[in-house]
Structure 1
Amino acid sequence: MKWIKLMTALIGCTFLASCSSVIKSSRVTVLQENYCAPTIVYTDDTTEEQRAFEDLGVKQKLSPHDYRLASHLGLVSQLAKFINSADPIERLEAKQQIIIRVQLFQTEIDALAAELDCNGERYDQLARVLDAKNGTTNTQLTVASIAIGAAVTLSTALITNDNTNKGLNIAGGVVGTGLGFLLLNPKGKKVELKTNRSLLSNIWFEQNDNLAFPPAVWRVMNDKSFSNEGKLSLIQTLKNRWLFFAFNEEISKKDEELYFGKGGFFKSEGIHLMSDMNNELQATVKTIQQDLRSLIYNVSLLK
């Protein structure tokens, strides 16, 4: 009877130890903090009037694509001064303003890409912590299963009472089945993540009211002419890819809140997905450098 009670207690302990739980450790706490967020707020260094400025001379010298980017950066008025003015000083001042705005835009792209790269690495490290914890749990379950099987075999050999033997075999079978089920269907550990600042959310809901994206970068990403086919913006294209590949073309309200809302409790695969989406967004942001390179090159040819 004592053996049966012991096995029953072992069953309870095994199942309790193997249940899904939230991980709390110093390593997890560090990675939960969004240390990737910038310490400054992005501002728009151009006015609506500067961005709406049109000049036929500049338009004739640049491709529609380059002219469009120049408009988003508020450069058209300065480019017009540079090519139309006969005053060397005015031309020099215009050139300096062009250089400053181009450099600022470049640093904004770099800063945004750095934040996304940092978040991608942060989520990747957090996922590795969860993977390691899950691997340890599975190892413990395997060892426990072997130990229980050996204990039952030894006990039935030593105990002569037939009823006790039957009880031990039944209890051992239940424990073995339970452990096998847990190994086949591991719930996995979880970690809590609060996404108070999420660049992914800006993309998903197509809004930048919090200025998490530099305004000039956001304008370019929201302009259909900067995508390959010109039918959807970079933002819409990226969002559609996430919906298709990550969520099988349909996302529940629960998952939308988890990944693009306030966050919640994530399993390892969810953290891996967050890392992947940050990396994909980073790659999209970096493609704008191709457009900027084209503008810089063609502006350098202006006389």
Structure 2
Amino acid sequence: MANATGTLSFLHKLVHNQSDTSLEGKVERLHIKNELQNRLLLVTTELNSFSAELDCEGERADQLASYLDERANNRNDVLTVASIAVGAVTTIATVSISSDATQNVVGLVGGLLSGGLGGSSLIKGRKVPFNHPRNVLKDIWEVPQQSSIYTPFIWYMLNEKSFSNEHKQGIIRSIRDRWLTLQFDGETEGRKQNLLFGKGGKYKADDLHDRADLLNQLQSSIRSLNQDLQSFVLSVNRLP
């Protein structure tokens, strides 16, 4: 963590200065600790800011998905009621009409209308434009050597094996493997991948729910890193 936060040199100075009990040594020690605290405050702010960005992006996708879900549910309710009404009218009409030929025609037309309305309720909902030029998911999926979105500090922590649970691969690789297996059935390319990891496009409600889910998973990992960072900060604060 000291290497990730860029505080290793400050800690070395503190250890080297520990035996100096002179006034100058104490002043120097205070100066080093102040620089150390400033550095830790900076990286803590970076991590919190990025976590807040993920939260906002996830909420944005969730809200639009909920709107589309509500629109689709309202539409389905109307179509279902209309289908039932057409079916009822058709039944009454066929009973009331004495001519067999006319009954058959009315029954056929009514059945087609009722079936059409019922089938329409099963059609997936509309698409809406949803753009994200700064896509925080993109580099997690593509895993470039250097990120244009993540700060060097956060990118280092996501790639460093020592910050993962099993220490076999970086957090970013674990996240990508999980997405590849559970979200995309092992497929690295496709419409949904291009949509979620590109600059945006036409989203359906299901696509928005998927994007929000990926953002929430990433945010959980960032929060875990933040816990590790805060533990390190507490340890540093205990230094004499």
TM-score, length-scaled by structure 2: 0.89
Shift of 1:115: 0.9
CA contact (8 A) 1:81 1:90 kept: no
What is the match of residue 213 of structure 1? 150
Structure 2: gaps spanning 5 or more residues? none
- Structure 1 CA distance for aligned equivalents of residues 60 and 170 of structure 2: 28
User: Could you tell me how far apart the structure 2 residues matched to 1:240 and 1:210 are?
Assistant: 19
Runs of 4 or more consecutive aligned structure 1 residues displaced over 3 Å after TM superposition: 154-165, 207-211, 300-303
Q: Which amino acid aligns with 2:150?
A: F
Question: Is residue 227 from structure 1 mapped to residue 159 from structure 2 by the alignment?
Answer: no
User: Percent of aligned positions with the same letter in both sequences?
Assistant: 38
**Residues 152 and 172 in structure 1, CA contact (< 8 A), matched pair in contact too:** yes
Q: What is the DSSP-based 3-state SS (H/G/I as helix, E as strand, rest coil) of the residue aligned with 1:265? A: strand
CA distance in 2, matches of 1:167, 1:142: 23
Match of 2:203 in 1: 266
Determine whether 1:201 maps to 2:138. yes
Q: Cα offset for 1:262?
A: 2.5
Q: Which of residues 173, 179, 191 is equivalent to 2:117?
A: 179
8 Å Cα contact 2:83/2:115 also seen in 1: no
2:6 maps to 74
Spell out, residue by residue over 1:164-201, the C-alpha distance to the aligned partner (whole angstroms, 9 max, x if none): 33322211111222233334x33222222122111111
Alignment of 1:8-157 (within 5 A): 69-85=1-17, 86=20, 87-157=25-95
Structure 2 Cα separation of the partners of residues 270 and 152 of structure 1 = 39
Between stretches 99-108 and 174-183, larger displacement belongs to 174-183
TM-score between the two structures when normalised by the length of structure 1: 0.71
The 8 Å contact of residues 90 and 107 in structure 2, kept in 1 or not, is answered as yes
1:239 aligns with 2:176: yes
Structure 1 contact 202–208 (Cα < 8 Å) conserved: no
Q: How far apart are the structure 2 equivalents of 1:169 and 1:249?
A: 49
Per the TM alignment, residue 208 of structure 1 is displaced from its structure 2 partner at its CA by: 7.7
Moved more, 275-284 or 254-263: 254-263
Q: Structure 1: 5+ residue runs without aligned partners?
A: 1-68
**How far off is 1:250 after superposition?**
2.2
Cα distance in structure 1, aligned partners of 2:81 and 2:238: 71
One of 220, 228, 237 as aligned partner of 1:300: 237
Letter in 2 for 1:92: L
Distance in 2 between the 1:228 and 1:269 partners?
A: 31
CA contact (8 A) 1:82 1:92 kept: no
Deviations along 1:94-133, one digit per CA (max 9) or x if unpaired, are: 1111000101111111111111111111111111111111
Compared with structure 1, are the counterparts of its residues 160 and 148 closer, same or farther at alpha carbon in structure 2 (3 Å cutoff)? same
Q: Is the 8 A contact 1:82 1:90 kept in 2?
A: no
The CA deviation at 1:293 is 2.7
Aligned to 2:129, the other structure's residue is in SS state: strand
CA distance in 1, matches of 2:145, 2:211: 19
Residues 113-162 of structure 1 show CA distances to partners (whole Å, capped at 9, x for unaligned) of 11111111111111111111111111111111112122223333454554
Query: What is the aligned-residue RMSD (CA, Å)?
Result: 2.0
Segment of structure 1 superposing worse, 77-86 or 232-241: 77-86
